[in-house]
Homo-oligomer: A and B are copies of this chain.
Amino acid sequence: MTTSTRARTSTSTGNRGETVNPASPVIDTEGVTALLERGRRLATPELRAAVDRLAPPMDTVAAYHFGWIDAAGAPSAGDGGKAVRPALALLSAEAAGAPPETGIPGAVAVELVHNFSLLHDDLMDGDEQRRHRDTVWKVHGPAQAILVGDALFALANEILLELGTVDAGRAARRLTVATRKLIDGQAQDISYEHRDRVTVAECLEMEGNKTGALLACAVSIGAVLGGASDRTADILEKYGYHLGLAFQAVDDLLGIWGDPEATGKQTWSDLRQRKKSLPVVAALDAGGPASEKLARILADDAKKSETEIADFTEAEFASRAALIEEAGGREWTSEEARRQHATAIAALDEIDMPEAVRGQLVALADFVVVRKR
């Protein structure tokens, strides 16, 4: 990180919710909305049918987690998330020249694995809120969070393997490898919590495992189900992996400077959790007076109890966020999102695919870095 970066950053307006200006100047918002909507429309009925296979009470607990019912069991039009992964899985099939429907079992399997990891991570991390609602372990207890997570993971494999084809086996293998990385990433995340310092490289490795691996799988799984070669799948995964890192860099920006109305999280959410996210780690790595002052303050915070941190005023969090920004952590993370975004898009040039599909993958990448939630 250079001095000029820090200088530029310290003059930032610090607007809440402002994230990244992507390389592409015009975002095809309508096109992306249609893509995400198509993913939801095609994958959700199959996802619900898969979850309906679960024995009671796991079916109900899972339906609550997905936002299809409320805690009392009444139907609900809850927030099912951004649905980036299903949209990618369908585009993935099209990238291999197959109809989007070929990617549906892949979309469902990836969503099941993603939600398995949310259920378990929320419990391990003690997170009480997800998508503006109480988390499953908070409502239904830790045992149900473990059990339903396990069931969703098993179901993901079942959905793929019952297709009974060699390509389905290849898809299931890629999903399994991605899931292991997801688990590795969560293990790293937990171990970093107990450490005073984490390097930027370690943080990126962890985020690549936690977010990159499964997005990568979403972008390859439809193509594999459509009979794509391993080389094509690997390059699509490269796009997805860097897209995931861009996605996560933006998430880390939103975790500090995001608008609670949009994100559904508390203000300064990641600071409340003392999360060693990219902006924090980059700021600590940067050196200089703001970085050193931040390091002293965070070292003090580390000795405090969770209750003491929860009792911080808005101003106390805001002053920490300002120091992170002054040390260059915000700007570095924005630039990292742009770098990962560019690497992702460049990977697409390594393989042939229909131009329309390439355009949509680029538009999705643009969307990921400008999103506010």
Residues of A within 8 A of B (CB): 55, 57-58, 116, 120, 123-124, 142-143, 146-147, 149-151, 153-155, 157-158, 161-162, 164, 166, 168-170, 172-173, 176-177, 179-180, 183-184, 186-188, 190-191
Contact = CB atoms under 8 A, between A and B. Distances in A.
B124 A186 contact: no
Given A120-B147, A154-B183, A162-B173, 19 more contacts: A55-B184, A58-B183, A120-B146, A120-B150, A124-B142, A124-B147, A142-B142, A147-B187, A150-B150, A150-B153, A153-B154, A154-B176, A154-B180, A157-B172, A158-B176, A161-B172, A164-B170, A166-B166, A169-B169
From DSSP, what is the main secondary structure of chain A's interface residues? Answer: helix
B187 A58 contact: yes
Contact of A180 (B158, B166, B187): B158
B143 A183 contact: no
A57 B147 contact: no
Copies of the protein in its oligomer: 2
Contacts of A155: 180
Return the 8 tightest CB-CB contacts between A and B, nearest first: A169-B169, A161-B173, A124-B143, A157-B176, A55-B184, A154-B179, A154-B180, A158-B176
Contacts of A170: 164
Contacts of A186: 147
Contacts of A55: 184, 187-188
Contact of A147 (B58, B168, B177, B190): B190
Contact of A173 (B143, B150, B158, B184): B158
14 contacts: A58-B183, A120-B150, A123-B146, A124-B146, A147-B186, A150-B150, A150-B183, A151-B183, A151-B187, A155-B180, A157-B172, A157-B176, A158-B177, A164-B173
A290 B372 CA distance: 67
Contacts of A184: 55, 58
A17 B169 CA distance: 46
Nearest to A209: B55
